[in-house]
């Protein structure tokens, strides 16, 4: 590893990865970004904090799920993870050394209300942890962006009523939890996120069963209707909390609130097929507009979903529709998590009774044998920056809200070896291409994009994949917990300085 790379200085040509296919040797152009464009990093509480039962924290559904036998999480758990709970000060100093504007993190609900419910005791030690974290960030001129829910519901509310499966109970408990956070932390927070990736909560946790609490057909749960009940609960809980924030806190705290939606972009498997072309739009509706239309437009679910799912999809009551319409204008930005693009093919065979895709199939190779892009350290994540640009346009045209890219990044192959991990050319190349796509969307397409938060600050516990894939710009040795900056971290530091200078 050269001294230049250690210092984070290199030419754009260093970012070109030879995939032995000319179409894959994409050049990073280092295009400009607006002067006020904010960059930062993102994490989630369960993935980095550790301290699973420290200082009064209660168990979450992930504490339970990651200890099941036989294991459903690669035999690993996040009891310690990155031990960020005990290493906060040092981690913030690392962040500050990169010149980040923003740090997006989540609060562990069961750390501040161990049993989760509206009548349950508050854990002041948990409150103190997050209060100190916020103060230290501000002392280093880093703006905190706080996610209220990143997949880790308190185990007690799941045991009591199934968490998201009881809309009324969850809505009331989540509102109480959010009110506590706004009351204790809101005087120092300017951006809130209610839920991270409701699609994943609904499908991966309540249909595929790969995430906590692990509901799936094999476990005997109702995968035909549960995911749609969960989504309904999230939408209404978001609206309730957003409206409560606007009515009680926004004027005095001068903050913003929204939700973070994830989504791939899709290209037709066969460009000549009208069925495949239709399927690309249908898949975006089922993935993104499922939540985006009720939250940002105050509308019903997309008609295509209503027609396909029938009575599997819950109906909004008149009172709920009024809530959505009043809450929609409160959302001042669109939080966008995006990693990759896929081809989509319309299926001709009858779908399974619990199908959630609109009878489509996602693929990495199209009808002509062309790959959507080079593969990263995980098979599902391909490098496809043009798809990212198209998705930015799709979201902007549909919702007309400034977009913040709240997660984007990739793992590299061979990162279990620290020398390979630190000299992460592939990740730098990915970041460069995706930042160029943002620049083009802003300056050529007129899309409002206000910020970019790299996923992730550090290697961490990647849910059911355990400690395998590494997405961090900081390497973590999970035996010693030593942190080592990767060259992608230095690249982001330097490129944001340079891109702003060019603008």
What's the rounded Cα separation, in Å, for the pair 356 and 216? 13
What's the rounded Cα separation, in Å, for the pair 194 and 174? 10
164 contacts 233 by C-beta, under 8 angstroms: yes
pLDDT in tens, 119-141: 999 999 999 999 999 999 999 99
How far from the centroid of its chain's Cα atoms is residue 196's Cα?
6
446 contacts 438 by C-beta, under 8 angstroms: no
pLDDT exceeds cutoff 60 at 8: no
pLDDT exceeds cutoff 90 at 20: no
- Per-residue pLDDT band for 416 (boundaries 50, 70, 90) equals confident
Catalytic residue among 136, 169, 197, 415: 197
pTM of the entire predicted model: 0.95
According to DSSP, residue 242 is labeled H
Q: Is 193 helix (H, G, I), strand (E, B) or coil?
A: strand
Q: Is 257 helix (H, G, I), strand (E, B) or coil?
A: strand
pLDDT in tens, 32-81: 999 999 999 999 999 999 999 999 999 999 999 999 999 999 999 999 99
List the structure tokens of 257: 């609130």
What's the rounded Cα separation, in Å, for the pair 112 and 124? 7
Domains of the chain: 3-502 (3.20.20.80)
494's CB contacts (< 8 A; 6+ apart) are: 8, 9
pLDDT at 25: 67
CA atoms within 13 A on the CB side of 469: 19
29 is catalytic: no
Q: Is 371 helix (H, G, I), strand (E, B) or coil?
A: strand
**Least confident segment among 7-21, 262-276, 345-359, 379-393:** 7-21
What's the rounded Cα separation, in Å, for the pair 109 and 499? 38
pLDDT at 18: 39
483 contacts 422 by C-beta, under 8 angstroms: no
Which residues, in sequence order, are bridge partners of residue 345?
361
> For the residues 469-491, what does the mean pLDDT come to?
97
**Least confident segment among 172-181, 414-423, 440-449:** 414-423
- Omega before 456 within 30 of 0, i.e. cis: yes
pLDDT at 17: 40
pLDDT exceeds cutoff 60 at 3: no
CA atoms within 13 A on the CB side of 385: 21
Q: Is 452 helix (H, G, I), strand (E, B) or coil?
A: strand
CA atoms within 13 A on the CB side of 436: 19
Question: In this prediction, what percent of the chain has a pLDDT beyond 90?
Answer: 93
> For the residues 436-459, what does the mean pLDDT come to?
98
pLDDT exceeds cutoff 50 at 107: yes
CA-based Rg of the chain, rounded to a whole angstrom? 22
What's the rounded Cα separation, in Å, for the pair 495 and 503? 12
74 contacts 464 by C-beta, under 8 angstroms: yes
Rounded to the nearest integer, the mean pLDDT of the chain is 94
Pairing of strands 483-485, 474-476: antiparallel
pLDDT exceeds cutoff 80 at 194: yes
pLDDT exceeds cutoff 90 at 237: yes
CA-nearest of 67, 145, 77 to 107 is: 145
451 contacts 393 by C-beta, under 8 angstroms: no
- Per-residue pLDDT band for 447 (boundaries 50, 70, 90) equals very high
pLDDT exceeds cutoff 70 at 13: no
Catalytic residue among 49, 226, 267, 407: 407
136 is catalytic: no
pLDDT in tens, 319-336: 999 999 999 999 999 999
> For the residues 235-264, what does the mean pLDDT come to?
98
List the structure tokens of 130: 């997050």
Residue showing tokens 């996923």? 455
70's CB contacts (< 8 A; 6+ apart) are: none
């Amino acid at each position: 590893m050269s001294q230049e790379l250690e210092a984070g200085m290199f030419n754009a040509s260093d970012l070109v990865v030879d995939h032995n296919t000319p179409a894959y040797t994409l050049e990073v152009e280092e295009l400009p970004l607006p002067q006020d464009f904010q960059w930062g990093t993102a994490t989630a509480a369960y993935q980095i904090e550790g301290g699973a039962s420290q200082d009064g924290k209660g168990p979450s559904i992930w504490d339970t799920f990651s200890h099941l036998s036989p294991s459903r999480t690669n035999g690993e758990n996040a009891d310690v993870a990155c031990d960020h709970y005990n290493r906060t000060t040092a981690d913030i100093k690392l962040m500050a050394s990169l010149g980040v504007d923003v740090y997006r993190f989540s609060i562990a609900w069961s750390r501040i209300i161990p049993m989760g419910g509206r009548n349950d005791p508050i854990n002041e030690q948990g409150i103190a942890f997050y209060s100190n974290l916020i103060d230290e960030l501000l002392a280093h001129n880093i703006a905190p962006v706080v996610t209220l829910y990143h997949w880790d519901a308190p185990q007690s509310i799941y045991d009591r009523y199934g968490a998201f499966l009881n809309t009324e109970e969850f809505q009331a408990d989540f509102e109480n939890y959010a009110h506590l956070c706004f009351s204790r932390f809101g005087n120092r927070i300017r951006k809130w996120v209610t839920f991270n990736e409701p699609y994943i909560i609904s499908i991966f946790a309540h249909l595929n069963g790969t995430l906590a609490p692990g509901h799936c057909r094999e476990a005997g749960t109702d995968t035909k209707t549960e995911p749609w009940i969960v989504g309904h609960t999230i939408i209404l809980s978001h609206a309730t909390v957003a409206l409560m924030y606007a009515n009680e806190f926004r004027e005095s705290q001068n903050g913003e609130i929204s939700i973070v939606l994830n989504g791939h972009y899709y290209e037709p498997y066969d460009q000549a097929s009208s069925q495949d072309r239709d399927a690309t739009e249908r898949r975006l509706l089922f993935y993104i507009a499922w939540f985006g239309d009720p939250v940002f437009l105050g509308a019903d679910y997309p008609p295509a979903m209503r027609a396909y799912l029938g009575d599997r999809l819950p109906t909004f009551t008149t009172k709920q529709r009024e809530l959505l319409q009043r809450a929609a204008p409160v959302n001042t930005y669109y939080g966008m998590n995006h990693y990759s693009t896929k081809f989509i093919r319309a299926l001709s065979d009858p779908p399974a009774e619990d199908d959630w895709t609109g009878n489509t199939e996602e693929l990495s190779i199209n009808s002509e044998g062309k790959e959507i892009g080079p593969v990263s350290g995980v098979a599902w994540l391909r490098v496809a920056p043009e798809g990212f640009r198209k998705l930015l346009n799709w979201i902007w045209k549909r919702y007309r809200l400034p977009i913040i890219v709240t997660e984007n990044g990739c793992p590299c192959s061979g990162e279990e070896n620290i020398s390979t991990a630190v000299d992460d050319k592939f990740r730098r190349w990915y970041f460069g291409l995706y930042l160029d796509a943002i620049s083009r969307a802003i300056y050529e397409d007129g899309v409002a994009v206000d910020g970019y938060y790299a996923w992730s600050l550090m290697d961490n516990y990647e849910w059911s994949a355990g400690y395998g894939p590494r997405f961090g710009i900081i390497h973590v040795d999970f035996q010693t917990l030593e942190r080592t900056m990767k060259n992608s971290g230095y690249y982001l530091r330097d490129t944001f300085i340079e891109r702003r200078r060019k603008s």
